[in-house]
Amino acid sequence: MIEPFTSAIGNNATTLAMVMLAYLAGAMTPVYFAQERMRGFGRALASRLPYEPPPGVEEGEAMEAATDEAADE
């Protein structure tokens, strides 16, 4: 079972140990915690995107409509 991993890393035990440690740490992380971290990462990326309102709508009106829609959900 471990042969594909050892052939991929070239029998480097340190690398294999680090991969296993990272896997175990990820497996023990609570799902809700991981989801919150991913949402935060997504928000950070999305906040850097420039906002363009739909054609024919002013930026302020479009932001109000988007905020109202988000509050309704």
Residues 7-48: tens digit of each pLDDT: 766 667 788 788 889 888 888 888 888 888 888 888 888 888
Q: What confidence tens digit (pLDDT) does each residue in 43-53 have?
A: 888 888 887 88
Domain locations in the chain as residue ranges: 3-72
Give CA 2 to chain center in angstroms.
29
Token reading at 11: 């029998």
Residues 6+ apart with CB under 8 A from 19: 5, 9
What is the spatial distance between Cα 36 and Cα 43, in angstroms, rounded to a whole number?
10
Model's pTM, two decimal places?
Answer: 0.37
Is residue 16 within 8 A of residue 9, CB to CB? The reply is yes
Cα 34 to Cα 42: distance, rounded to the nearest angstrom: 12
